[in-house]
Structure 1
C-alpha cells in the first residue's frame, strides 16, 4: 500500500518543477514510509511513497517502461489480488518481468490491454499512468472505492493524489470550501465524487478518468447490476462460503507480517476463523488484535446500539481459532488527548468523524503496526449482507431518507445540532440531503418482477453499498495509512458484493435474523456464542470521564477565538459543556466531539470558507 501524487501540464515544462512534486509526494509519507520516488518528463510528473508489501526490493516506483513511441510510467497504490494469474497470462503473450511485484503486472497489463486493464483487476487500488505515447494521463480506481484518489483540474492539465493534502501542497490548488463543501461535511450523506474542497473531485469507484489535451473524460467500467438470482438457499450459502475462502486466501498473500482485526462480532470472527484455518495449513498461527476500554466489560451498560460488550466474544473466538491474540486497551484520557484528535483529523483531511470511534481506531492501528504491516478486517459485511438494525426497522424501511440519517433523527443522534441558526438556514441541510437521496434512488438498478418490498430492500442495500460504506472505507483507509498499516477488506471483493446484492431480501434473512447468509456460510468455523450473538457495532467508550474531558476542552475553546465558534450557537454549546455529565443524553456527546474536530481541522488546514 502506498501514496501517490502527480501533476500533468500541457503548457509548461515540469522538469523544472521538482520542488513542487517533492512537496506533494512528501505529504504521503505516512502512507509510504519505506521508500520515495519522483519521475519527471516535460508534461507529466509522478510521485510515490511506498509501503513495501510484496517484492520488498523489486517494487520501487514510479515504474517506467520505455517504448519506441515514448515512456509509459506508473505510480500505484493498492494490491491486485489476482496478479499471479495476470502475470501468467501476460507471459504467455510475450511479456518479460524483472520483478515479482504486482506493480509490474499492472504496468505490463496496461501495455497489453490499455484501459481495458480495469475490467481484469481484482483488488483494491488507485493508480495513475502517464502514457507518453499518446501524452495522456489515465487514473483508475477500484470498484468499491476502497483506496482513495482525488483530482483537481487546472487551466492546462490536472493535479492528483491519494489524499487532498497532496493536491493542496501544490501552489495551483486553493483550499476553498464553499457552501456545498460544508453541506457535505455536515450532511452525513457522502455524495459520490464530491471532495469538500471547491474544484477538487474524487475519482468515482469503478471509474477510469483520462486527461489529455482535449480535456478530462470519465468511463465507468463497473457498477452494481440487477440480475435475477436463481440459486436456492443451500446453493447460495455454499457459493458465499466458496467466495469467502477464495477471497481470504488471496488477501493473505504478503511478504510482511499479517494479522486480523477481531471484535467478537460475526463479520470479523468469520474472517479470523477462515484466515486461521488457511494459515494453519501452512503451519502458521493467525495473529488477532482487538480494541477495548478500561473497565468497559465490568461496567458495561446496554444501549440501543450495543447490547453486549465485545471482550467475552473476542476471547471465545481467539480460543476457538487458537489465534495469537492481543487486546489494545485504551483509557479515557488517551482517547480525549488533543494530540490524538489532531492526528486523527490530519489523517482524515476532513472533520467527517465518528468521535472516539475514530480516535480509538487510530490508536488501535498504531499499536498493531508495531507487530504487523497487513491486517484483514470485517468492514463492509453489514452493508453487503444487511446487518444494521435499521435494515430491519419497518419505519426506517418506509422513510423517504437515507436509512442511517432516518435512524439518527429518530434517536436524537444529531451531531450538527449545535450549528448556528444563520449557518443552519444558509446550508438548508434538509433540502440538500433530500436532493442527494433522490439522485441516489434514480441510480438503483431495477429487476422486473420484484414485489414492492423486495424492490425497496434492493434500494436500501444499494444506498449502503454506494454511499454509507464509502464513508467507512474512507475512515478505515485514512486511519490505517496514517500509521503505515495496510488494511484489507475481504467483504468488498466485487464478486461477493455483486452476488449477494442480487440475493432476495427474503434469502438474506431466511433464518429470521440479520446476515443470515454469512452466518450460515461461516457457522462451522465459529464458536456458538458468536453465531448466536446479536449485531453490535464497533465499540465506543462508556466512561463518563471521557465526556468530562470533552466538556473541559470545549469550555477552553469557548474562551478563545477559534473560527469554529463562528459556525455554532455559542449559548447552546456553553450549556452543553457545563451540563451535569450524567444528564447528557445519547447523541449529545457527539456534538462536542464534532465541534472539537471542526476546530482542529480549521487550525490545521486553514481552509477559506466561502458561503456566498
Structure 2
C-alpha cells in the first residue's frame, strides 16, 4: 500500500517548483510511512510515498524505464498489489525485459512498456497508478476493477493534478476543498456515484477505467465492466469452482515480506477467509486474527432487525478452531465520543460517513492491528457478491424501486435529517436519488434470458457491487491507511466476481438462506455454529449513553456562534434532538443524521468550505 500525488502542467516548469514538491510531501504520510521520494521534469511532478510490503529493499518509487541511450522514457508512480506478478514477470522476461528487483512495481512498469495502457487488462489485484510517458508527454491513470484503491484527479487551465485522496490534490494549489450543491447532495444522499467526488472540480477515476491527459485534454475509457453471460455449470460444479477460485486467490494474497493477519468477526465471510489463510500458511506460521466488540454488548446486547447475535461468542469459537493468535479490541462509549478520534475519521475519509460509531471503531481496530501487522485480509465484498444483506431477501426491499439500502431505511433520511428543510427541498434530495437510481439501473448488463425475478436479483447485485461496495471499500482503505495498514479483499478478485456474478440466483440461495453458495463451498472449514450463523452486519453500538453523548456534542456545536455547520442545520429539528425523549426520531431524525451533523462540523473545522 502506498500513496501517490502528482501534477502535470503545460504552462509551468515543474522542475523549478521545489515549493510544490515540498507541499506535496506530507499530504499522504500515513499511506506511505516508509519512504517518500519525488521525480520532476518541466512538464510533470510525481511525489510517491511507500508502505513497503513486497521486496522491502527494492521496489523504490517512482519506477523509471530508460532507452538504450539511458534517456528516461516511462515513469511510474504506483500503489497496490498485483497478485499475478510472478507469472507476468516470467512472460515479460521471455519477451526480453530485464528486471532490477523482485517487486510487483517493476512488473507493472515493464508491463506498461510492453502493452501500454492495455496492460491493465492483464493485472489481477488491487491497484491505482499513474504513468508519465516522456516521449508522448501524456499522463495515464489506471484504477483496479472495483476501486479497492482510490484515485482522484482535477483538471484546471493551469494543469492536471492527481492523487490517492482529495486532500493530496489540494496541496498542488490547483484547487481547494470546496463543496458545492452537487457535492453536498453526493455527500449526504448515500447514493455513491462512480466518478463523482464531493469536492468541486474533482473527479474520481471510475473502477476499471483509464484516464489519459495530454495537450489535447482528457480522454477516458473502460478496460473492464460487468458482463452478463449464461452459466452452464450445475450446482455441485459451481460450489467446487467457487472453492477452487478462493483457494487460488488466498494462495496469491498471502504473499508479503511483512507480517500478515486477518480480520475475524465470527461471520461466514471473515471466518472463511481466516480458515483459507490458515490452510495456506500450512502450519509454518501461526495466523494472527483481530476482532472488535463494543464493551456494552458483552452483557447488554439486544437482537434487532439486522443484528441477530453479538460477534464475540462466534469469534471465540472460530479463533479456538483455528488456533490463531487472536486479539479482541473492546470499544466503549469513551472511544466513540473522543472528539480527536472523530475528527481523525473525517480527515481520513475526506467527508462525512454513514455510521460514525462504525468508522471510529474500525479506525481504533486498525490502529491495534498496526501494532502487530502491516497487512490484513478481510471478508469485504462477499455480501454484495453472494447476496448476504437482508435487502436481497425481504420482498419489501426487493420491490422497492430505489437503492435497496435506502428502502431498508423505511423512508427515513440516513444523513440529511438535520439539514435545513428549505435547503433540503431546494436541493431536491429525492429527485437526486431517483436520478442516480435510474442511471444505475440503465447500466445493468443482462443476457435477455432472465425471468423477472432473476432480472431483479441481478439488478440488486449490480447496485451493490457498483455502488454500495464503494462505501465498504472506501471505509476499509481510508481507515486502514489512517493507521498505515494495507487491507486485502479476496472476495473482490475479478476472476471470482466474473464467475459468481453470473451464477443464477436460485443457486446462490440453494438451501433457502443467504449466501448458501459460499456456505456450501467452505462447509468443511468452519465449526457448525459459525457455518450456520445468520448474517450479522458490522456492529453498531447499542449503548444509550452514546446517543446521549451525541446530543451533548450537538448542543455544544449549535451553541457555538462560530460553528459554520449551523448555517446548514434546521433549527426546529435540532431542538427536537436536544429536547425530545426520542432524540428527534419523532421529527424524522435518525442517529446517523445526528452523527452526520457532528461530522460536518469536524469537516468544516478542517478547512472545507461550502458554496451554495
Instruction: Give 1:588 shift.
Output: 2.4
Give matches, 1:57-96, under 5 Å.
57-67=57-67, 68=69, 70-96=72-98
Q: Does 1:602 align with 2:608?
A: no
| Alignment partners' CA distance in 1, 2:57 and 2:22 | 22
Aligned to 2:331: 330
Aligned to 2:389: 388
Q: Does 1:99 align with 2:101?
A: yes
Give matches, 1:23-38, under 5 Å.
23-38=23-38
Instruction: Give 1:413 shift.
Output: 5.9
Cα-Cα RMSD: 1.4
TM-score (normalizing by structure 1): 0.97
Give matches, 1:230-245, under 5 Å.
230-245=232-247
CA contact (8 A) 1:6 1:45 kept: yes
Instruction: Give 1:583 shift.
Output: 9.1
Aligned to 1:543: 543
| Alignment partners' CA distance in 2, 1:584 and 1:487 | 36
CA-to-partner distance for each residue in 1:45-66, whole Å, 9 max, x for gaps? Answer: 1111110000111111111122
CA-to-partner distance for each residue in 1:118-163, whole Å, 9 max, x for gaps? Answer: 0000010000010102111110000011000001012153100000
**Secondary structure at the residue paired with 2:397?**
helix
Give matches, 1:525-540, under 5 Å.
525-540=525-540
CA contact (8 A) 1:157 1:212 kept: no
| Alignment partners' CA distance in 1, 2:101 and 2:315 | 40
CA contact (8 A) 1:558 1:574 kept: no
| Alignment partners' CA distance in 2, 1:582 and 1:449 | 49
| Alignment partners' CA distance in 2, 1:577 and 1:134 | 61
Give matches, 1:67-466, under 5 Å.
67=67, 68=69, 70-279=72-281, 281-410=282-411, 412=412, 414-466=414-466
CA-to-partner distance for each residue in 1:529-562, whole Å, 9 max, x for gaps? Answer: 0111110000111111122211111111111021
| Alignment partners' CA distance in 2, 1:134 and 1:207 | 20
| Alignment partners' CA distance in 2, 1:584 and 1:438 | 30
CA-to-partner distance for each residue in 1:172-214, whole Å, 9 max, x for gaps? Answer: 2132211111000111001110011111100110011111111
CA-to-partner distance for each residue in 1:340-392, whole Å, 9 max, x for gaps? Answer: 00000000001133210000000000111000000000011000100000111
**Secondary structure at the residue paired with 2:551?**
helix
* CA 467–12 in structure 1, closer or farther in 2 if over 3 Å, else same: same
| Alignment partners' CA distance in 1, 2:366 and 2:581 | 33
Instruction: Give 1:571 shift.
Output: 2.6
> Which residues of structure 1 form unaligned runs of 5+?
none
| Alignment partners' CA distance in 2, 1:95 and 1:116 | 17
| Alignment partners' CA distance in 2, 1:438 and 1:375 | 36
CA contact (8 A) 2:120 2:142 kept: yes
**Secondary structure at the residue paired with 1:408?**
coil
CA-to-partner distance for each residue in 1:43-89, whole Å, 9 max, x for gaps? Answer: 00111111000011111111112225643111101000111111111
Instruction: Give 1:92 shift.
Output: 1.0
Judge which range, 166-175 or 381-390, deviates more: 166-175
| Alignment partners' CA distance in 2, 1:187 and 1:338 | 24
Instruction: Give 1:582 shift.
Output: 8.6
CA-to-partner distance for each residue in 1:487-533, whole Å, 9 max, x for gaps? Answer: 00000001111111101111111110000111001110001001111
Instruction: Give 1:96 shift.
Output: 1.1
Instruction: Give 1:225 shift.
Output: 0.1
CA contact (8 A) 1:152 1:159 kept: yes
**Secondary structure at the residue paired with 1:595?**
helix
| Alignment partners' CA distance in 2, 1:439 and 1:499 | 25
Aligned to 2:572: 571
CA contact (8 A) 1:151 1:158 kept: yes
CA contact (8 A) 2:190 2:415 kept: no
* CA 102–587 in structure 1, closer or farther in 2 if over 3 Å, else same: farther
Instruction: Give 1:600 shift.
Output: 0.5
| Alignment partners' CA distance in 1, 2:191 and 2:593 | 17
CA-to-partner distance for each residue in 1:298-348, whole Å, 9 max, x for gaps? Answer: 211111110100000001110111111110111111111001000000000
**Secondary structure at the residue paired with 2:524?**
helix
| Alignment partners' CA distance in 1, 2:175 and 2:96 | 43
Instruction: Give 1:594 shift.
Output: 0.9
CA contact (8 A) 2:386 2:500 kept: yes
Instruction: Give 1:94 shift.
Output: 1.2
CA contact (8 A) 2:158 2:174 kept: no
Instruction: Give 1:417 shift.
Output: 1.5
| Alignment partners' CA distance in 2, 1:583 and 1:199 | 35
TM-score (normalizing by structure 2): 0.97
Aligned to 2:484: 484
| Alignment partners' CA distance in 2, 1:578 and 1:248 | 52
